Amino acid sequence: MTFTDFGRYDAVGLAELVRKRAVTPLELVDAAIERVEKVNPKLNALVTPMYDEARAVAKGGIPDGPFRGVPFVLKDLLAMYEGVTLTGGCRFYADWVPRYDSELVRRHREAGLIVIGKSNTPELGIVPVTEPELHGPTSTPWKQGHNSGGSSGGSAALVGARALPMAHGGDGGGSIRIPASCCGVFGLKPTRGRTPPGPDSSEQWRGFAIEHVITVSVRDSAAMLDATSAHDPRSRHYAPAPKRPFAEEVGKKVGKLKIAFTTHPFLPSKPHPDATRAVEDAAKLLEALGHRVEEATPKIDALQFAKDFVTIVATETAAGLVEAEQVVGRKAERHDFETATWLIAKLGGHISALELTLAERRIHAIARRTAAWFEDWDLLLTPTLALAPPLHYALQPKGAEALLHEAVAAARLTPLMRIPGVVDRMAEKIFDFIPWTPLANVTGQPSMSVPLWWNAEGLPVGAMLTARFGDEATLLRLAAQLEEARPWRDRRPPIDAEA
């Protein structure tokens, strides 16, 4: 094998080459570093290189796991790697160094993966585009200057550019599926509790958030889920055990599925026609593959859902800043955080226990009603996003609105947090981009973005399929069928490590 052969293989394939001794782990690491360095000046996707560490690991004793010797990138959020900074895209954490691995990273390393660096993420993963002030914006490999999505934007951009076959991500409101859509790759959010959040947390964002990977191939996602999804007794949630290894689902017969589809947004939004076209295209493909596809949608009060989701995220952000002070060892100041983060945290600090409890109860009610709705359907098909990858900073407030946000964020007076529309308008811009992804986070259901359609500008718009709680198996079987019917791996972006 020569270095130019790297892009021919997915992560499972690279590991097989190592097992056959057709290539060494060090050769794979060097090839991956070369590919990352080739595309990163245009993407700004890798923010913390770990090249010396990776080469040292490649030369030493690597655990004999399913991905032995395969290069890997960690998202610079949640994933603690002993001795390496974890910034979360945030100035306040810029110099913080974890003293031990998180449980998921420990499992990554036990699986034989070699981490070559950390990827870019929005500050604390709060917004769905990757453009933190600390590191700058990350572009999709399909068009420089258009955002890679977030919050796993750096990881998705590297996978989309074929610098690596697989990279770590996390999803609290769509943060695996959003960048997967923006970068034209495969992104699966597993069932709540499928992968471990520990050892310092029993859940993230009230159980909304879960970590997994972004991949080019479906089988890599399945094999990684097998490697990381063993029960962790420290976790608050644990998903139902699968009937068989997830990797065995890839290639299995799918059968005839009953699939509902809708373009009706679950959160306040006016989707672009691209979103409708992406779903119509996916629905036709699914019908051609023999599935029953009908228009139907769960009933959700979009405005109330938006308010309740913001309420919970805001209180989690406020609590996160308090914990950040304890971790870093000093008081957080306004200049340590971006305006949106500080504003959301201030809002969270002024939400009462009663308001939070009622919001949680309404969110739980949505989950119960959605679960009942799924008794009649195998899957739900929607667009992943309401539009193609936006230009950098397109979702940021501008002009007078930006000045008002800054004034409220800087103020010490509680009444200013009640200025009508300040937070509402900020949430509207976010949800106008992501009106579908958060539902699976609040219900805990597995959900995937599949790259099936590109618009007239050559930008990807993913199709999203969501299954019943615990049923990644159906998603993986169908994803493999779609991958075979329309091989997205053959479609290459302008920013390409192979070019």
- For the annotated catalytic residues, the residue numbers are 75, 151, 175
Strands (E), 360-411: 379-383
Centroid of chain to Cα 318: 22
Cis bond before residue 190 (omega within 30° of 0): no
Find where tokens 């009953």 sit: 258
**C-alpha dihedral (292, 260, 257, 208), degrees to nearest 10:** 170
Per DSSP bridges, beta strands 463-467 and 379-383 are antiparallel
What DSSP character marks residue 380? Answer: E
What DSSP character marks residue 394? Answer: T
Strands of 46-49's sheet in order across: 46-49, 114-119, 71-75
Phi-psi region of 229 (alpha: psi -120 to 50; beta: other; left: phi over 0): alpha
Per DSSP bridges, beta strands 258-261 and 379-383 are parallel
Identify the bridge partners of residue 42 per DSSP, sorted by sequence position: none
Question: What sign for the dihedral angle of Cα 182, 187, 190, 196?
Answer: negative
How far is 44 from 470, CA to CA, in rounded Å?
A: 35
Per DSSP bridges, beta strands 114-119 and 71-75 are parallel
Helix (H/G/I), strand (E/B), else coil: 47: strand
Structural contact between residues 389 and 475, judged by C-beta atoms closer than 8 angstroms: no
One-letter amino acid for residue 382 of the chain: T
Helix residue ranges, H only, 272-338: 273-288, 302-328
Q: And the tokens for 58?
A: 């490649």
List C-alpha distances in Å: 13 to 17, 112, 131: 6, 14, 33
Residue 137: count of CB within 10 angstroms of its CB: 22
Closest listed residue to residue 328, CA positions, set 57, 90, 26: 90
Centroid of chain to Cα 109: 20
In this structure, what are the phi and psi dihedrals at residue 236, rounded to the nearest 5 degrees? -75, -30
Closest listed residue to residue 268, CA positions, set 231, 219, 305, 235: 305
Closest listed residue to residue 447, CA positions, set 64, 244, 84, 173: 173
